[in-house]
Amino acid sequence: MKKKIIFLLISLIVVTFIAVPFVLIYILNHGNPYEKFIVTKNVSTHLEAMGYTDDDLLNQSYIEPKYFINDSVYHGHYKVVFADEPHLEYLYGVTKRDKEVVQFCEKETFIEESSYWERTTEKTNHSEDECTDYMN
């Protein structure tokens, strides 16, 4: 019985040492799956509550920035391009504390796919009354 317990413990330790690097590599390459779930679920629900339908949205997706952003929100956030403003990219985040959806004040103005022109904080058609700074 004692040998079985020792064998089980050693097996568990070996499996842990093998699995941890794979999990870390996955998270580094694909982002934290928990954050992705929370952000995607909450922002989609928020947009529906605001009255937006799939016809109003030209593009929506979860993105992981490669640099640090506002510490009060999860690192991964949600990119939305509305059909009536195809040149603007709105960014949404979810706060760590209350899991509330916030819109970032900064919006990317772009000319072509992945070719950004400038960042703007001006009030636009889909700007929410309250917003959060992207880098604060």
Collapsed DSSP state (helix, strand, coil) of residue 9: helix
- Give CA separation, 110 vs 40, 82, 83, 99, 119, in Å: 23, 13, 14, 29, 9
The residues near 73 (Cβ < 8 Å, ≥ 6 apart) are: 93, 94, 95, 96, 102, 132
pTM of the entire predicted model: 0.77
The residues near 106 (Cβ < 8 Å, ≥ 6 apart) are: 91, 119, 120, 121, 133, 134
How do 131-132 and 57-63 pair as beta strands? unpaired
For all residues of the chain together, what is the average pLDDT? Answer: 87
Report yes or no: 98 and 127 within 8 Å, Cβ to Cβ: no
Q: H or E stretch including 110?
A: strand 107-112
Report yes or no: 124 and 109 within 8 Å, Cβ to Cβ: no
pLDDT attached to residue 103: 93
Tokens of 52: 């937006």
The tens digit of pLDDT for each residue in 83-98 reads 998 888 899 999 999 9
The tens digit of pLDDT for each residue in 47-73 reads 999 999 999 999 999 988 877 778 889
DSSP assigned state of 40? H
